Amino acid sequence: MDVYEAVRSRRAVRSFTDRPIPKEVLERVLSAAAWSPSGSNLQPWHAYVLTGAPLAELKKRAGERVAAGGPWDEPEYEMYPPSLKSPYDERRSAFGKQRYGALDIAREDWEARQRAAAANWDCFGAPVALFCYIDRDMGPPQWSDVGMYLQTIMLLLRAEGLHSCTQMAWAKYHKTVAEIISPPSELILFCGISIGFEDVTVGYTRLDRAPLDETVRFIEN
């Protein structure tokens, strides 16, 4: 698979089979991803990979929290600005319409939306979950480095015939994740990534992208 195909075929898959992934495949992907760019070669990412019993226990505990209906953990970073301006607000709204529309869930059906969101805590059935942390002392440039690292991982997974889904939602249950992983206190959980083989029996709607002239300007003679 060439780079263009990997980029175009990468998407957030929300339905995986339970087919196991050999550890050597994950090691190959993560070893290559270590070559991702970072300012002054800081390599500010910290990745934890869960499979088997540890992942099953995390899913169980997260599911119990959802069932109990308790509050989310205190946020450790701001996922989105409090007030999104145009065109970002429209794009986010369009995402919600396409995402839940594909599931035949009406905007006002809050219970159905909650059930769909609950699939996050099962990693959409994936047999592997990666949790990415960053040091609390790092600034915006290092968070950008982590983003490039995660993108590299996702593209390499496509080269292995695998799919993924990045989930900032796990930051809402960072204390539950920490119960399993026991990360150093100086680290913040940025996101989780569900990894596996796509369940192709489940349909999906490919989300749109903004046209090139909306996001790119060529400055020419």
- Looking at the chain, the whole-number percentage of residues with pLDDT higher than 90 is 73
Residue 100 has pLDDT above 70, yes or no: no
The predicted pLDDT at position 108 comes to 60
* Higher local confidence (pLDDT), 99 or 118: 118
Mean pLDDT across the chain, nearest whole number? 91
Please tell me the pTM assigned to this model: 0.90
Tens digit of each residue's pLDDT (9 = 90 or more) over 47-73:
999 999 999 999 999 999 988 988 999
Residue with tokens 């809402």: 172
Q: How far is CA 155 from CA 7, 112, 206, in A?
A: 6, 32, 17
pLDDT-wise least confident of 6-20, 71-85, 96-110: 96-110
Q: How far is CA 61 from CA 115, 178, 219, in A?
A: 17, 11, 53
Please report which confidence band the pLDDT of residue 27 belongs to, taking 50, 70 and 90 as the band edges.
Answer: very high
Tens digit of each residue's pLDDT (9 = 90 or more) over 159-209:
999 999 999 999 999 999 999 999 999 999 999 999 999 999 887 778 788
The predicted pLDDT at position 123 comes to 95
Nearest to 195 by CA among 49, 62, 58, 95: 49
Contact assessment for residue 163 and residue 198, using Cβ atoms and an 8 Å cutoff: yes
Please report which confidence band the pLDDT of residue 77 belongs to, taking 50, 70 and 90 as the band edges.
Answer: very high
